[in-house]
Homo-oligomer: A and B are copies of this chain.
């Protein structure tokens, strides 16, 4: 029966793929079943973070012969999604997801994790950060969701995306300016429009909110947001790559996913409620037994762009020595790890239209009780 398995590894460095290699060689995991590998590496998470490329290269080299493809083609088969920055307590780690088997013919009594992947069509630079990107992203997500045997879009708890940023020519830039629609083909707008695409596809926007969705609202009206999107954006990428994590009554396996939206970076109550929903109610911190059921915690962080948290000034955005992305990842990972007691947290930064300003989505995967 169709089911997803997750394998979590701590690494000794970005190129450490020894644990995965062992799993593959001893037959506990078939390369052909791999859907995606998510990981945190110990770079700075910025433009000059070479730890992600190193990790992906090591994985490609491991998987290419097993998949029977060239190294460069591995990512056509297995999505590699790496986020740099293991600030504070975060431990460098990766989680590999495999999926196989046929869908159940009939509903199971419990819903279980399923993963769907896909991509948008290639974008023109003019479309990025505008409704064209929002709508095509929504279309692609809707199509993926349609294949997942869900009861409703509310069964989707995480839409992990790599947002497209096609490179623009100077002529395109000029033409766009002359049209009065300057190009938005950058990380900020690609993340923002992708997240709004998820919100649109999954019905996260109330009708009166959806009515405000327009070019001018993108990266401007932050009352519009998704609670399940997690987007990074990659210069040069033409299509947005999409992974949908959801629970289906037509799947088996032991994994379940849930999500919540933190109101601000200290909003632990939302996370506690989510843990409770997932069968891990706790006062204080998860117990050792509860922690053994925890598979992954994935979240998006943002130093509140308004410069204060709960009425108190913060200094993350005015520090010219250290990027606010490093601070906000460190804060949120610490907050989450203090709830779970587990330093293997996946927090990535920049969260335009991912939850409310200063807050953001959190997804948690657990082994069903």
Say yes or no for A314: interface residue by CB 8 A criterion.
Answer: yes
Say yes or no for A47: interface residue by CB 8 A criterion.
Answer: yes
Residue of B nearest to A47 (CB): B318
Beta-carbon contact of A44 and B320 below 8 Å: yes
A residues 290-336 in Cβ contact with B at 8 Å: 308-310, 312-316, 318-323, 326-328, 330-332, 334-335
Say yes or no for A118: interface residue by CB 8 A criterion.
Answer: no
A residues 273-302 in Cβ contact with B at 8 Å: 283-285
Beta-carbon contact of A50 and B47 below 8 Å: no
Beta-carbon contact of A314 and B12 below 8 Å: no
Dominant SS among interface residues on chain A: loop
Beta-carbon contact of B266 and A315 below 8 Å: no
Indicate whether A344 sits within 8 Å of B61 (C-beta atoms), given known contacts A54-B54, A89-B265, A327-B330.
no
Report Cα–Cα, A196/B337, bound state, in Å.
Answer: 31
Beta-carbon contact of A88 and B330 below 8 Å: yes
A52 to B: closest C-beta gap in Å: 9
In the complex, per-residue mask of A257-276: 1 if CB is within 8 Å of any chain B CB, else 0 = 00000000110110010000
Say yes or no for A227: interface residue by CB 8 A criterion.
Answer: no
Say yes or no for A75: interface residue by CB 8 A criterion.
Answer: no
Report Cα–Cα, A48/B313, bound state, in Å.
Answer: 14
Indicate whether A14 sits within 8 Å of B50 (C-beta atoms), given known contacts A330-B334, A335-B335.
yes
A28 to B: closest C-beta gap in Å: 22
**Residue in B50, B93, B338 whose CB lies within 8 Å of A51:** B50
Give the chain B neighbours of A136 by CB distance below 8 A: none
Copies in the complex: 4
Report Cα–Cα, A44/B319, bound state, in Å.
Answer: 10
Give the chain B neighbours of A327 by CB distance below 8 A: 87-88, 330
Residue of B nearest to A57 (CB): B57
Report Cα–Cα, A171/B328, bound state, in Å.
Answer: 31
A217 to B: closest C-beta gap in Å: 15
Give the chain B neighbours of A309 by CB distance below 8 A: 89, 91, 343
Give the chain B neighbours of A330 by CB distance below 8 A: 87-88, 327, 330-331, 334
Say yes or no for A151: interface residue by CB 8 A criterion.
Answer: no
Indicate whether A314 sits within 8 Å of B89 (C-beta atoms), given known contacts A266-B338, A266-B341.
yes
Question: 5 smallest A-B Cβ distances: which pairs?
Answer: A46-B320, A91-B312, A334-B334, A88-B331, A312-B343
New A-B contacts (7) at CB < 8 Å, excluding given A47-B320, A48-B319, A91-B309: A12-B313, A14-B50, A42-B50, A45-B320, A47-B318, A266-B337, A310-B341
Interface residues of A (CB under 8 A from B): 10, 12-15, 42-51, 53-54, 57-58, 61, 71, 86-93, 265-266, 268-269, 272, 283-285, 308-310, 312-316, 318-323, 326-328, 330-332, 334-335, 337-339, 341-344
